[in-house]
Amino acid sequence: MSPPATRRPLAAVRGVDVPPFYTSRIARRATELRQAGRAVIPMHFGAPTAGTPPGVRAAAARALADDPNSYFESRALIERIGRHYRDSYGLDIDPARIQLTAGASAGLVAAFAALFHPGDRIAVGRPGYPAYRNALRALGRETVEIDLDAASGYRLTVAHLDAVPDPLHGLLVASPANPTGAMLDAATLEALAQRCRERGVRLISDEIYHGISFGERAVSALEVDDDVVVINSFSKLFRMPGWRLGWMVAPATLAPRLSAYVINCFLTPSALAQHAALAAFDDPAELAATVEVYRANRALLLTQLAAAGIDDLVAPDGAFYLYLNVAHLTDDSLAFCERLLEDTGVAAAPGVDFDPVGGHGAIRLSFAVSADEAVRAAVLLREWLERQPGR
């Protein structure tokens, strides 16, 4: 018998540590409670509870009958996205500039990897979507977080940007923003784009919540500067988060480079999702009705939370989140959300995900739920908050 092979110790783990997404802990517990028969109102993830629009599901069923089991890039979908920019923003976008991605997340990772070198400094607003800073960290880029607050409506301005010292290589803006719902108007976007040009800073605009606003429509960065990189997705307005499908619009000079990164890192998005998404634009009345549900949910929750003493918040311009200051009730937003879930069945996201510095006294609620869910949540939240020490 041969002697056992000698095993050498494995090399040390050399990857960069990134924080967990703490909301996933809330999600796992919410699933356990639901499986145990508890009623849960899912206000933790940004996933609309109305489900995929009927026309999209029907298109998927038709496509599934043909077994779309291959790597696939839908030229028809790319052209339809181009038409969306003409219809919604009056922009004529060359289809060669549009790249389909496996969700907005894949687009962000590809952009961070393709446009910046390890060690480059990219500015983002805080509070903000945690995957911005965590993906940048994982890729060896340096995140420069710009503190935003309620006094400024959580809107990033040129003054904020001017306070960031050189070197600065990139700026990521989100409008409407997660978790605050803050939106940037055309003048602010144009001023930011101009300052980025003056400083040689690459501008990326996350526009995945476009189409969901409660006053003026959201302005695309492409309307003020043709040299930006725009990220978008079918997850939010089109209610397709589980289909993992998004797109990027890039300057013509960058589109081939970004495409190479997308293909090498992610191949193509789901073929079935692409076939289905062709129908996503076909029923604007369905989408508009959903936004009206969000509008009513927003108004209801703002009223009920104010009655419960949570009145130090900025009403969101768009998206479907409320970012609540609960610092008078807790300095541990994760534990606060865990107690809220156990006591009421309302699942919320801890603010520490979005702001590791000041988010320990904040939580985020998604109101992308049904009208009935919003009514039940408003009652449960008000009653529970009124019982908390420090109220």
For residue range 5-57, list pLDDT tens digits in order. 677 888 888 889 999 999 999 999 999 999 999 999 999 999 999 999 999 99
| Mean pLDDT over the full length of the chain | 96
Whether pLDDT at 311 is above 90: no
State the pLDDT confidence band at 391, using cuts at 50, 70 and 90. low
Task: Tally Cβ neighbours within 10 Å of residue 204.
Answer: 26
Task: Tally Cβ neighbours within 10 Å of residue 190.
Answer: 17
Instruction: Kindly report the backbone phi and psi dihedral angles of residue 334, in degrees, each rounded to the nearest multiple of 5, phi listed first.
Output: -65, -50
State residue 67's pLDDT score: 83
State residue 32's pLDDT score: 98
State residue 8's pLDDT score: 80
pLDDT average, residue stretch 357-362? 96
For residue range 108-142, list pLDDT tens digits in order. 999 999 999 999 999 999 999 999 999 999 999 99
pLDDT average, residue stretch 298-313? 93
pLDDT average, residue stretch 230-236? 98
CA atoms within 13 A on the CB side of 123: 25
Query: For residues 233 and 209, what is the distance between their CA atoms, to the nearest angstrom?
Result: 8
Q: Which domains does the chain have, with CATH numbers?
A: 23-44+284-386 (3.90.1150.10), 70-277 (3.40.640.10)
pLDDT average, residue stretch 158-168? 98
State the pLDDT confidence band at 3, using cuts at 50, 70 and 90. low
| CA nearest to 320, candidates 235, 249, 251 | 235
State residue 4's pLDDT score: 63
Task: Go through 129-138 and write b for each residue having 16 or more CB atoms within 10 A of its CB, e for each that does not.
Answer: bbbbbbbbee
State residue 6's pLDDT score: 74
Maximum Cα–Cα distance for the chain, whole Å?
A: 79
pTM for this prediction = 0.95
Q: Residue 61 corresponds to which tokens in the numbers above?
A: 């069923």
Whether pLDDT at 1 is above 60: no
State the pLDDT confidence band at 315, using cuts at 50, 70 and 90. very high
State the pLDDT confidence band at 69, using cuts at 50, 70 and 90. confident
State the pLDDT confidence band at 2, using cuts at 50, 70 and 90. low
Whether pLDDT at 143 is above 90: yes
Instruction: Kindly report the backbone phi and psi dihedral angles of residue 190, in degrees, each rounded to the nearest multiple of 5, phi listed first.
Output: -65, -40
